[in-house]
Amino acid sequence: MSHNYVKKMYNLSTTNATTVYTVPSEKTAFINSLRLNEISGNATSWDVTITDSSANVFSVYKSYAIAAGQEQELFSRNWILNEGDILKFTAATADRLVLHASILERDQGVNNKFIAKHNDYTTTDETTVYTVPAAKKAILSELWFSNDDTGNTIAATVKMYNSEGTAFILSEGTIAAGVSGEAMARPQIMDESEAIKVTAGTANRLHTHFSILEIGNPG
């Protein structure tokens, strides 16, 4: 299986959205590090988005501030991106920020398959994000919440359903206005036919990003 390590560095000299990285055809990517430096001595804000292969745009960070001279690692865990996903960064002010991205590209797996699930919740109905396929197990390695409404909080509930349809709450609470972050400290195992479902308390505010590894069921 082919592995390719990629380094990207940007002096963000524009307030236009900068394409940091696009996942190549027949590849899966792992964002190992996305590091930001403020170099001008002035505080500023920035956005991060992911655009999928169908041109849907998902918020990762919205109007986040960085203090003068601060350095910041944007992700606490590795992120999975699918083939065709585009990672974009937008600085609110030009010539203040430097961005470093460290990425691992690998061939898409067959028996062991890495998957990213990006969702924008346009309804308050419960939404099925992922179901473990037949003869598979899954490792849910990352769960990221983003409230892209910078003026209002939002309630969100994540449930894991077993194969009999019984629900177990995995995460529940409110996300402050404009806040993004990792919601799961450690990976979770999922068995065949188990499902993840998310309910947003208000439509058109919540975005989630799940990183999942599907593996052949040894049982």
pLDDT digits (tens, 9 = 90+) for 110-129: 678 999 999 999 999 999 99
Integer Cα distance of 31 and 25 in angstroms:
17
First-to-last C-alpha distance (Å) of the chain: 25
219 pLDDT higher than 70: no
Written as six digits, the tokens of 121 are 């919740």
Count how many residues are written for the chain: 219
Give the tokens for residue 36: 């930001």
pLDDT tens-digit readout, 13-55: 999 999 999 999 999 999 999 999 999 999 999 999 999 999 9
- Which letter does DSSP use for residue 40 in this model? S
The per-residue pLDDT for 181 is 95
Distance of alpha carbon 120 from alpha carbon 147, whole angstroms: 10
Q: What's the whole-model pTM score? A: 0.94
Distances in Å between the Cα of 18 and the Cα atoms of 38, 61, 94, 115, 168 are: 16, 14, 11, 24, 40
